[in-house]
């Protein structure tokens, strides 16, 4: 695959899946921009490849998202990856936590894809990709706001796909299971803190959600994103693609 002529934006590109996708697309020749709120993380990710540039942005703020695109210009591929998770029983989840999860995980995707599509007008080819989760395909206990947001991302993506279907643009959602990333490390730490489990036991508790008994690697998500941008992907539109070892 060669993406030499393509430009790519990846939100939340400083760590985890976002950083891995940035390297993967850069290795295929694409000009990659990664965005986030923490410049240090962005700089660390950008140092991995000469084709990666950074732009600071808060995806929950409409003005910030518009400014981001003003700085980088129209993109051929827009990947709305930025997200966060918090864990608590629903009866202990306050409104502030709910609003934070909806803002970064759903509103941030809406603002990113909307502005990305606006800047794609006139192009004959484009790819809009949201990074959702298996939490958007099923429920998980103790993460109701996160799961609700990810369900919303899938609904948003499916609706958007119908709007762009005749424009040479596709919109799809990637839905990984529990990933071998910093976000899962924080979940492991929470389990240890609340249960007293050892780290290996806590990690195994999370991994057992996957029928393959393991965490999904970021590179597997990157490979799926590249596939959606490669030749032969034109008919893949409006899909929520589970990357979960058979969990979904």
Contact 172, 235 (CB under 8 A): no
Contact 59, 11 (CB under 8 A): yes
How is residue 98 written in tokens? 């709910």
Query: Residues 6 or more apart from 50 whose CB is under 8 A from it?
Result: 26
Contact 93, 143 (CB under 8 A): no
Helix residue spans in the chain (DSSP H): 16-27, 39-46, 62-72, 95-102, 108-120, 144-164, 182-195, 199-207, 218-228
> How are the residues of the chain apportioned to helix, strand and coil, as percentages rounded to the nearest 5?
50, 15, 35
Query: Residues 6 or more apart from 234 whose CB is under 8 A from it?
Result: 170
Residues labelled as active-site residues = 146
């Amino acid at each position: 695959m060669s993406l030499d002529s393509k430009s790519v934006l990846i939100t939340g590109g400083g760590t985890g899946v976002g950083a891995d996708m940035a390297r993967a697309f850069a290795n295929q020749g694409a000009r990659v921009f990664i965005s986030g709120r923490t410049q240090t993380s962005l700089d660390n990710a950008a140092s991995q490849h000469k084709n990666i540039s950074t732009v600071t942005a808060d995806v929950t703020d409409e003005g910030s998202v518009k400014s981001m695109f003003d700085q980088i210009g129209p993109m051929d591929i827009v990947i709305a990856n930025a997200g966060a998770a918090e864990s608590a029983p629903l009866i202990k989840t306050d409104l502030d936590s709910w609003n934070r999860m909806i803002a970064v995980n759903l509103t941030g995707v809406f603002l990113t894809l909307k502005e990305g599509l606006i800047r794609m007008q006139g192009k004959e080819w484009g790819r809009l990709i949201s990074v959702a989760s298996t939490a958007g395909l099923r429920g998980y206990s103790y993460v109701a706001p996160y799961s609700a947001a990810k369900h919303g991302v899938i609904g948003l993506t499916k609706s958007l796909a119908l709007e762009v279907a005749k424009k040479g643009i596709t919109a799809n959602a990637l839905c990984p299971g529990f990933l071998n990333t910093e976000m899962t490390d924080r979940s492991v730490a929470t389990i240890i803190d609340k249960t007293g489990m050892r780290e290996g036991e806590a990690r195994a508790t999370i991994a057992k959600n996957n029928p393959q008994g393991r965490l999904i690697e970021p590179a597997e998500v990157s490979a799926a994103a590249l596939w959606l941008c490669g030749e032969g992907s034109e008919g893949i539109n409006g899909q929520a693609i589970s990357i979960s070892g058979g969990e979904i």
